[in-house]
């Protein structure tokens, strides 16, 4: 069983421009005592120095961690009584690299390897807030830097002064498990697979065995004791839930999950491809010779995770990188965005006669690609031959995503580049996907640190779409249903659902990256 690490993490930009907690009521919310700020320069400091060379700090200065692992700042804080309290760490990180911190209270771990990513400059201060249990009287809060770069510049610790906010990931998982059983949640499909992958990320943080048991019970409907799985894998969509097989083998060690996953891996040996080697979206006649941006997420994250789990990394890394490069080469256009699809034969009714491209930039198709390319870059070797090409594709895509972010909401439109046109609307699943991809890419150093603020605006925009209903269950709104390739009017007329699995899974992936990891 994994131990819980972070109960809640929120991010607020200096000056109050952004707040991670929307104004929703919840029975578990409570007000903390009046806020008390503890200046870092007055705390016990190990392997760090007090500095004042970057403006915007409070008190008389801030602590600059040494660029070495093991440094810490130790605060002694006083609580009037026992209970949960918010701990706000004000920091700045002017580099392009994450500078994670470990946080303990009275010697007990509250957060391990908590990301403190780039803030856009050493004078750009942000506050990262987590919830921890305090004892009555004196408490020791230690903020340690486990990485070789040390920690970010730390200005202060603020205790109390706000509400203990909802852990939206945990609330969403609990709500969904209350609405469905492993038998009623749906068949073998990529939307359910996406959601359950997100639930697994929450399990990794909380260690709640019920979350993993639910995933296992779902998968066991399709995988028998001998590892047989009744799927033909005639399209890429059917492969996405295979990620759960890799996960369950890792968690249980049961070989039947490996045998089931190998069926997908072996299917790729004979799966049809374009002349450049890109997997067709489906083997059905209506999808013949077509690449859909959706498809890269349906197979490539599974593939690199399969390679890692079962010792097939050389093939998996090469194949996944090739697929991202082929798809990106055909689908990405000058504005950095990807068209929804491309038909090598040119026979599809939607295919441009000259380019073979679909006419529009559908947001979730681009979202799938953005998450897939980040997952693959995370997995392939640093010296992989196609890495530079993938980074170029990602950086061009980040430019396009930034350009078309809605300035009013921070989200992105169903047809991404036509936000000003009649009937267009901001869609929640793709906004979650873009937000995740930008945040993770900044954290990993794949793109410029300035995109951290784009991700934060996106995060706040998505949080505005989640709330609690009268039964204290989560409602995530404005999620597009599954969508084929079509015209502008087709996309904007797609049904906007609440709690659709496309949105639930994307939200969890995003929230575990930005809020609680």
CB 309 within 8 A of CB 301: no
Residue 206 gets which letter from DSSP?
A: H
13 phi/psi in degrees, rounded to 5 = -75, 150
Q: Which residues contact 272 (CB under 8 A, 6 or more apart)?
A: 279, 280, 283, 288
Burial category of 251 from C-beta neighbours within 10 Å (exposed 0-12, middle 13-18, buried 19 and up): middle
Distance CA 400, CA 375 (A): 19
Catalytic residue, chosen from 64, 102, 294, 375, is 294
Alpha helices in 295-386 (DSSP H): 295-310, 313-331, 363-379
To the query of whether residue 294 is one of the catalytic residues in this protein, the response is: yes
At 332 the three-state DSSP class reads strand
Distance CA 9, CA 126 (A): 13
Tokens standing for 406? 């809605």
Beta strand pairing status for 496-497 and 479-480? antiparallel
Tokens standing for 263? 């069926």
Tokens standing for 114? 């908590």
Distance CA 369, CA 329 (A): 12
CB 339 within 8 A of CB 357: yes
Distance CA 379, CA 319 (A): 12
CB 369 within 8 A of CB 296: yes
With both helix axes pointing from N to C terminus, report the angle between 387-403 and 451-463 in degrees, rounded to the nearest 10.
60
Chain center to CA of 209 = 22
At 97 the three-state DSSP class reads coil
Q: Which residues contact 335 (CB under 8 A, 6 or more apart)?
A: 400, 403, 417
Distance CA 517, CA 198 (A): 13
Q: Which residues contact 23 (CB under 8 A, 6 or more apart)?
A: none
- Cα–Cα nearest to 364, from 496, 202, 171, 242: 496
Distance CA 72, CA 60 (A): 19
Chain center to CA of 388 = 23
Q: How many CA atoms lie within 13 A of 73 on its CB side?
A: 29
Provide the annotated active-site residues.
294
């Amino acid at each position: 069983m994994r131990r819980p690490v972070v109960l809640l993490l929120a991010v607020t930009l200096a000056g109050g421009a952004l707040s991670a907690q929307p104004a929703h009521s919840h029975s578990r919310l409570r007000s903390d005592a009046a806020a008390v700020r503890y200046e870092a320069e007055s705390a016990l400091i190990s392997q760090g120095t007090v500095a004042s060379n970057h403006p915007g700090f409070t008190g008389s200065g801030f602590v600059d961690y040494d660029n070495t692992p093991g440094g810490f700042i130790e605060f002694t804080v006083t609580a009037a009584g026992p209970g949960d309290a918010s701990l706000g760490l004000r920091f700045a990180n002017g580099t392009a690299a994450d500078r994670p911190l470990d946080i303990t209270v009275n010697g007990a771990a509250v957060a391990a390897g908590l990301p403190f990513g780039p803030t856009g400059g050493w004078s750009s201060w942000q506050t990262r807030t987590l919830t921890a249990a305090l004892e009555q009287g004196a408490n020791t809060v230690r903020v340690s830097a486990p990485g070789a770069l040390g920690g970010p510049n730390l200005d202060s610790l603020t205790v109390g002064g706000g509400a203990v906010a909802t852990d939206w990931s945990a609330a969403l998982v609990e709500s969904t498990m209350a609405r469905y059983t492993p038998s009623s949640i749906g068949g073998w499909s990529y939307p359910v697979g996406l959601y359950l992958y997100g639930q697994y990320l929450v399990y990794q943080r909380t260690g709640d065995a019920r979350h993993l048991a639910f995933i296992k019970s779902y998968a066991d409907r399709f995988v028998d004791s001998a590892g047989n799985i009744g799927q033909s894998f005639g399209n890429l969509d059917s492969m996405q839930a295979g990620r759960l097989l890799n996960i369950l083998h890792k968690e249980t060690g049961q070989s039947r999950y490996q045998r089931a996953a190998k069926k997908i891996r072996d299917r790729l040996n004979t799966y049809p491809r374009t002349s450049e080697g890109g997997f067709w979206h489906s083997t059905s006649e209506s999808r013949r010779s077509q690449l859909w941006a959706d498809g890269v997420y349906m197979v490539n994250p599974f593939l690199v995770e399969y390679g890692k789990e079962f010792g097939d990394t050389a093939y998996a890394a090469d194949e996944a990188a090739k697929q991202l490069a082929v798809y990106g080469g055909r689908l990405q256009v000058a504005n950095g965005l990807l068209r929804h699809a491309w038909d090598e034969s040119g026979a599809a009714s939607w295919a441009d006669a000259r380019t073979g491209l679909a006419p529009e930039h559908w947001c979730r198709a681009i979202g799938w690609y953005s998450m897939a390319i980040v997952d693959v870059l995370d997995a392939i070797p640093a010296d992989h031959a196609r890495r530079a090409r993938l980074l170029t594709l990602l950086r061009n895509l980040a430019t396009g995503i930034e350009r078309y972010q809605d300035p009013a909401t921070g989200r992105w439109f169903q047809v991404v580049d036509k936000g000003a046109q009649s009937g267009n609307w901001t869609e929640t699943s793709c906004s979650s996907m873009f937000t995740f991809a930008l945040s993770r890419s900044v954290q990993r150093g794949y793109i410029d640190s300035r995109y951290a603020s784009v991700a934060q605006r996106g995060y706040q925009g998505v949080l505005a779409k989640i709330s609690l209903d009268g039964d204290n269950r989560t409602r995530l709104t404005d999620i597009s249903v599954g969508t084929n390739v079509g015209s502008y009017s087709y996309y904007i007329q797609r049904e906007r659902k609440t709690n659709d699995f496309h949105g639930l899974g994307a939200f969890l992936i995003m929230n575990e990256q930005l809020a609680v990891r």
